[in-house]
Structure formats: C-alpha cells, structure tokens
Amino acid sequence: MGNGGSIDCPRTSAYIDNTLKPDQRNLSNQINNLNSEISVFQKNIDKYTKDNADLQNQISKMFTKSQLDAAVSSAIKPLQDQINSNNNTISALNAEKNRLTINRDNLLKQLNQERKIADDSLTIVNSEIGNSKYKSTNIVYDSNEKTYQYYNSIREQNDKLLDKSSTSKSENLTYDQKAFYQVERFDNVLKINYILYIVYYVFLIVLIGILFFVQTNMSIYYRIIIIVLLILYPFIIYTVEKMLYDAGSYTYSTINTNVYSNNY
C-alpha cells in the first residue's frame, strides 16, 4: 500500500498557518497590552502609597509641635483628608488592577489551549507523513474536523474576552480622568483654604490694633472677649458647622417624613 514518498496534509497545514498562528499572535499582543496596563496601575498605586507616607510624616512632625503651637491642629485635617482620598484611590486602582490580571490570566489560558491544539495537529500531520497510508490520512481529516469544532468554541470565548477588554479600556480612561479632576480640585481647595487662613489672621492682627489703639473708649473686657472669640473661631467652626448641618438634616427629614397609617 505504501511507497517511498509521503502524503502531505494541506488542510491541516493551512489551518495551522492561517488560523492558529495568527490567533496566537493576536492573543500574545493582548496579553502584552494587559501587562502594560497592569504595570501602569501598579506605578500609580506605588505613587499614592508614597504620598501617604510623606503626608503621615508631616502629620507626625506637627503632632510633636502641637503643644507649642495650637494652630497646627487645623493644618493637620487637610493632610489627613488627602491621605483618606489617596487610600480610596489606591483601593480603586487595586480593584482595577486585579480585574485586568484576571483578564490576562484568562487570555494566557486560551493561548496555552491553542498552542496545545497546534502541537497536537502538527504531531498528527508528521505521523501521517511518515506512515504514508491513505487510511491513516482519512483518520487525520476526521481528527481535524473535531479540532476545528473545538477551536471554534475557543474563538467564540476569545471574542467575548476582546469585547470585555475594549469596554475595560474605555472605563479605565473615564475613571482616570475623573480621579485626576477630583485630586486637582481638592488641591485647589487646600490652597484657597490656606490663603484664606492667612488673610483671616492678618485681618485679626489689624482688628486687634484698631481695638487697642483706635477704639479706646470700648471696655477692655469687651475687647478681650471679642479677640478671644476671633482667635478661637478657626478651631471651633468645623464643630459648629457639623452641629448645624446635623440639626438641619434631622429637621428636614422629620418634616418630610410620611406618617404611615392603616385604614381599615
């Protein structure tokens, strides 16, 4: 039945060259892109973690001076708020990095499956070339048909992963823009708050000069009370503001509450 030559399997070879190999290259490119995105998220996480360490160091130094300078305590709150904001950003970045890692691992699994299919197909082709038997060649064709069906199911899964990856890139861009805008706006608020803090105490110094050198007919006790209240204002305003807000919220919710009654 056999002869000195060999029977090639053009259908299997074309299947490997035209379908399996291009898809393997495509999967490898996707995996590389996901690795790059994961690396970027890790760099951002490291940056925010370092920023938190620096801010915490500043707070520690301020606490050592708090007994000498009571005004330092008002400057600690913005730093602590920034640390909390950074922690929220780090949590979001970690969640996104973990999701990308899962996508990458799924693609790696698919790539390994396709490589196994290609290796098995090459093994069958090489075996049939060596045997050079028509009956064995028919078996190869039957085996290839099963391989085609299995591979098509894998391609459908890959298409779904590609759609998820594209959606993730769009969501990541929107999240990055939103996070950058929030951080930038928070920094601007801190700068404005610091400037107003300085302006307030400059105004307070001017007012003290007016009370003691211009408005001399006012009672000394009355002037002292005014100055003490103005000095304490920056330290008690947050507490007073929270109390007023809580009272207003409670009153509003009480007024808008619908009383439930049973009508029989």
Task: Give the Cα separation of 196 and 191 in Å (integer).
Answer: 9
Residue with tokens 């769009």: 170
Question: How far from each other are the two terminal CA atoms of the chain, in whole angstroms?
Answer: 96
| Candidate CATH numbers 1.10.287, 2.60.40, 2.170.150, 1.20.120; the one for domain 10-255 | 1.10.287
Q: Which residue type occupies 193? A: N
pLDDT in tens, 55-114: 778 777 765 554 445 555 666 667 767 777 777 788 888 888 788 888 888 887 877 877
Model-level pTM? 0.36
Task: Give the Cα separation of 134 and 140 in Å (integer).
Answer: 10
Q: 172 and 93 in contact (C-beta within 8 Å)?
A: no
| Low pLDDT (below 70) residues in the chain | 1-15, 17, 20, 62-77, 80, 122, 125-151, 164-181, 257-264
Task: Give the Cα separation of 103 and 97 in Å (integer).
Answer: 10
Tokens of 250: 């409670």
pLDDT at 67: 47
Kindly list the domain boundaries of the chain, sorted by start residue: 10-255
pLDDT at 221: 86
Tokens of 77: 């709150």
pLDDT at 186: 74
